[in-house]
Amino acid sequence: MTTDIGQWLGHLIGQVEGVQHRGRHARRQRLDVAPDALPALLELLQGKGSFVHLSAISCVDWPEDGQFELVYHVWSYELKTLVSAHIRIPREPGRYLSVYDIYKPAAFFERDIHEMYGVFFEGSPSMEKFILTEWDGPPPMRKEFDSENWVNDHFDWQDYHPDWLNDIESRGGGIAIRPDEQRFSRKAKHES
Amino acid sequence: MTSLSDIPVIQTPPEAPARGGNPLANVFDDFIRYCRSRSLFMLHYCTGCGAIELPPAMTSRFDMERIGIQPMVTPRQADILLVTGYVSVKTLKRIILTYEQMASPKYVIGICSCTVNGGMYWQSYATAKKLNDYLPVDLYIAGCMPRPEAVIEGLKALRDNIEAGTSDNWKDYYQRYDHYLGNQQRLFGADWQTPTEVIAEAKHYGLFGPDTLGEHTRRLEDHRKPLEPLRMTLNAGRLEHME
Amino acid sequence: MRAENYQSRAQPPSHEYELNFGPNHPGIEGNYALKVRLHGDTVIDAKADGGYLHRGFEKLMEQRLWIQNIALVPRICVPDPAPMELAYSMAVETLCGLEVPARAQWLRVLQMELSRVAAHLFTFGGHAATTGMYSTMFWGVADRDLILDLFEELTGGRVYHIYNLPGGVRRDVPDGFLDRVSATLDYLESRLADYDNLFFTNQVFITRARGIGPMSQQQALELGVTGPNLRATGLAFDVRRDDPYLVYDQIEFDIPTETAGDAWARTLVRRAELKESIRILRQVVARLPGIPGPIRAPIPNPLAWNVPAGEYYSRVESSKGELAWYVVSTGGAKPWRTHIRGPSAMHAVQVLETLVQGCRLEDVAQIMFSLDACPPEVDR
């Protein structure tokens, strides 16, 4: 079954240039696509291949390559196969085309990627913030954003010296590892 | 900044005025506190995951109502603000607005470990870590998440505290407003302000103290904006036709 | 009184106004908000506003070990946490090439279906409360507690179980546990007639729900609707059957569908699913004693566990729809990227915004609960 779909898919994507096909798991097919070819491929998959369900768009940050990887997971209710189309776009300026006109659910995922990674999708119906409306820091899901540092700069930790603990400590007991010593990052910060 | 033990628990077993040592001098105060502790309305605001243990606590099995506690949908009529679990920064703003709208006396309960110290999400950029920096917390119920029995046990402890007159942290918010406002401004930005006149209320309740005003409350004046009608734009200006 | 006092020129006409529906509102499910524009009491536009429950899970998971994340994932969806653990574990297992023992798979089915029953009972309760029928809420939540007791016995946790690990499950069933499961199922089945009388065939509810928030099958497919909401439009799609995982291909169950696609149909699908879940659970109870074997595949030292590089998209059917994890590993001790695709992310934003157009204000809560959207899962 899988090989049939593999062959069929290979035939289908032969019509689009710049597509590599790999299938490793049951009912999962991976396509590596050139960024320019993706809208045409998705249109083909939806129109001829019955892949009508856009399950998700995932974004992966690869700072060492200076790239964002966008993964479009589409599912066919008839072929019962999930195709993941991978593209890589440069991290700067981080712009890509919206696929909203092919798949409506893309609006949510593109909006989400925009606020979490700062990738701008041209043609998406709304690029305004949804979750992080009251956040003015950098896009938090980028690898260079260190949330632990941000937390240490903006929040205080509860201090623990309740009276009942003093009693226990005077009798030789107490907390073995205090919470502030467990937070390695804080410890390193204090030492430096 | 503060730790729990720094929050002064204001002891107001009102000192018996020397009326010839009349044992009945405080009977009305005691009676009022007793009544107050027996009819508590809890604001129904599900702020985090701990809210999932409240329906069992409220409904047939554990039945919170038998200790006189019922959910209430509006802040103005509520006595208890139950912060059930982690508060994201976005929610924290709403919680502070809600808290300031509630009528005194009012009580704040922090449920779940996340309100105490951040809990599982201590690394998260989105959640506030220590609720008593921003609001005067009367009682914490720790656990991830506390069982309905623990919630009810905590509410009973609050009831007993109210009856004994030891649960008066709402006064601390007025007396040390500058401290709380400073922490709020640190997180939300220097132009943070709420529509409630907390300072005027502090004077009204006779709780205006030396720490009510300070450097942070002075900033309020700098950023004071007249309240404007709420403006909402829906999808792509489709409603801009109104004249 | 002058005429301009009635209608200011700068303001919209007084019969058209905006309302913040939530986040602190009894008619909204969880900490979530809808901004609606009303004409009289008819909704003419709506905009969802999320992020009140945002915790940054995807960022947190990148900073923790593979095994630590197991404690984190169930917290994403509070009413139905079990499928989260399962989907994440399945992704890690596929990346490591771990073979899960048969007994563990059956135990996982047991956990999934108990969780589904609990989640549906909870939804019925909340849904009934939006129509003012609080008795159903009291019953639903109390009956759900029976399942939470079973969870407590099996896993130690009432709400968050952290029962799955990559490679298997944490504990085997205690002695006599399956009998107690059977007894609970008998009780729940006997209660269904009562629920029918009280709620599902109650004329009050039918009048309130029928024809509310209708969705055609084509519209549902376009908007990426999954789960019971999709099945209420007539398409019998279920990840358990069409993209099988665990041992669902060895279990007999039907996929209930309805065709109307409105709030009433969605509720009926869930009610039928409750019955199907009970049927699955009975098969698990009957077959589990005959399945020997370990409950866990051997895994390396979990504190120094480098999962081989790769990526996988694992999907399960949660009580709300298709739930998927996209997990990327670069061979390190921590995930490089995890992305969660929750079913509610679709239902609570685009679908809800579309369906409330033109409905009346009092039906907004009805539509939201009938979609069974779960805000913590939207916000992550």
Q: Contact A27/C243, CB-based, under 8 Å?
A: yes
Domains in chain A, number: 1
Give the mutation candidate from C230, C328, C337 for the A interface (greatest A CB count, under 10 A).
C337
Closest residue, chain B, to A132 (C-alpha): B90
Nearest CB to B234 within list C45, C52, C125: C45
Contact C350 A141 (CB under 8 A): no
Are A137 and A160 spatial neighbours (Cβ–Cβ below 8 Å)? no
Say yes or no: B196 and B135 in one domain. no
Residue with tokens 């209660």: C191
Domain ranges of chain C: 55-379
Label residue A5 by pLDDT band (50, 70, 90). low
pLDDT band at residue C117 using 50, 70 and 90 as cut-offs:
very high
pLDDT in tens, A134-185: 888 788 888 888 888 888 888 877 766 666 677 777 777 766 666 555 555 4
More reliable by pLDDT, C289 or A162: C289
Q: Closest partner residue to B89 among A134, A157, A158, by Cβ?
A: A134
Q: What does the pLDDT average to over A45-70?
A: 87
pLDDT at B138: 87
DSSP C240-301: HHHS--TTGGGS-------SS-SHHHHHHHHHHHHHHHHHHHHHHHHHGGG--S-SB-----
CATH 1.10.645.10 fits C55-379, yes or no: yes
**Most trustworthy range by pLDDT among B47-61, B160-174, C223-237:** C223-237
Average pLDDT along chain C: 86
Structural domain includes residue B85: yes
Q: Give the model confidence (pLDDT) of C149-163 as tens digits.
A: 999 999 888 888 889
pLDDT given at position A186? 47
Instruction: Please tell me which residue of chain C has the smallest CA distance to A78.
Output: C242
What pLDDT, on the 0 to 100 scale, is given for residue C29?
73
Selection from A131, A94, A110 nearest residue A57 by Cα: A110
Looking at the partner chain, which of C50, C51, C346 has a beta carbon nearest the beta carbon of A105? Answer: C346
Domain that holds residue B212: 168-223
Q: Is the pLDDT of residue B11 over 80?
A: no
Contact check, Cβ <8 Å, B51/C78: yes
Asked whether the predicted pLDDT for residue B222 surpasses 80, the reply is: no
pLDDT value at residue C339: 92
Say whether residue A50 is in contact with chain C using an 8 A CB cutoff. Answer: no
Residue B25 lies in a domain: no
* B121 CB within 8 Å of a chain C CB: yes
Distance from CA of B169 to the nearest CA of C (A): 24
- How wide is the angle at C-alpha C29 spanned by C-alphas C157 and B96, nearest 5°? 90
**What is d(CA C306, CA C296) in angstroms, rounded to the nearest whole number?**
18
A151–B129 C-beta distance less than 8 A: yes
Q: Does the structure show a pLDDT above 50 at B168?
A: yes
Tell me what pLDDT residue B239 has: 43
Q: Which of B65, B72, B234, B242 to mutate: most C Cβ within 10 Å?
A: B234
Max mean pLDDT range (A22-36, B203-217, C30-44, C105-119): C105-119
Q: Are C237 and C231 in contact (CB under 8 A)?
A: yes
pLDDT band at C10 (very low <50, low <70, confident <90, very high): low
User: Would the CB atoms of C148 and B145 count as touching at under 8 Å?
Assistant: no
CATH number at residue A89: 3.30.460.80
- Does the pLDDT at position B225 exceed 60? yes
Q: How far apart are CA B106 and CA B156, in angstroms?
A: 16
Q: Which of B44-53, B224-233, C10-19 has the highest mean pLDDT?
A: B44-53
Contacts of A140 in chain C (CB under 8 A): 56, 59
Residues of B in contact with C63 (CB under 8 A): 123
Q: What pLDDT is recorded for position B236? A: 41
DSSP reduced 3-state for C343: helix
Q: So what's the pLDDT on residue C147?
A: 92
Domain end position, chosen among B124, B152, B167: B167
pLDDT in tens, B139-148: 888 888 888 8
**Which chains would you list as touching B if contact means 3+ CB atom pairs under 8 Å?**
A, C
Neighbours of chain C (3+ CB pairs under 8 A): A, B
Residue B92 pLDDT more than 70?
yes
Calpha distance C345→C324 (Å, rounded): 12
Q: What percent of chain A has pLDDT over 90?
A: 6
| ω into A139 cis (within 30 of 0) | no
Residue A157: its chain B contacts at CB < 8 A?
A: 117-118, 122, 129-130
Q: Say whether residue A105 is in contact with chain C using an 8 A CB cutoff.
A: yes
> Average pLDDT in the A57-74 region?
90
CATH number at residue B81: 3.40.50.12280
Q: Decide if A80 contacts A72 (C-beta within 8 A).
A: no
Residue C1's pLDDT is what?
A: 37
Measured between beta carbons, the chain A residues lying within 8 angstroms of B189 are 136
Q: Are residues B147 and B52 in the same domain?
A: yes
* Vertex C65: Cα angle to C64 and C71 (nearest 5): 80
Contact between C183 and C281 (Cβ < 8 Å): no
Inside any domain, residue B241: no
DSSP C360: B
Residues B57 and B131 in one domain: yes
pLDDT class for B21, splitting at 50, 70, 90? low
Confidence (pLDDT) at C45: 84
B102 lies in a domain?
yes
Going by the DSSP 8-state scheme, the letter that residue C199 receives in this structure is I
C105–chain B nearest CA distance, Å: 27
**Nearest residue, CB atoms, C221 vs list A53, A131, A133:** A53
> Quick check: B1 pLDDT over 60?
no
- What does the pLDDT read at residue C126? 83
Residue ranges making up the domain that contains A95: 5-191
Mean pLDDT of all residues in C173-195:
90
Q: Which long-range contacts (CB under 8 A, 24 or more apart) does C10-17 make?
A: C11/B229, C12/B239, C12/B242, C13/B242, C15/C39, C15/C40, C16/B242, C16/C44
pLDDT per position as a tens digit, A75-121: 888 888 888 888 989 988 888 888 888 888 899 999 899 988 888 88
For residue B241, is pLDDT > 50?
Answer: no
Q: How many CB atoms lie within 10 A of CB A102?
A: 18
The count of domains in chain B is: 2
With a cut of 0.90, is the ipTM above it? no
Chain A residue at shortest CA distance from B124 = A147
- Chains with ≥3 Cβ pairs under 8 A against A? B, C
Place of tokens 């916000």: C379
Residue B60 sits at the chain A interface (C-beta within 8 Å): no
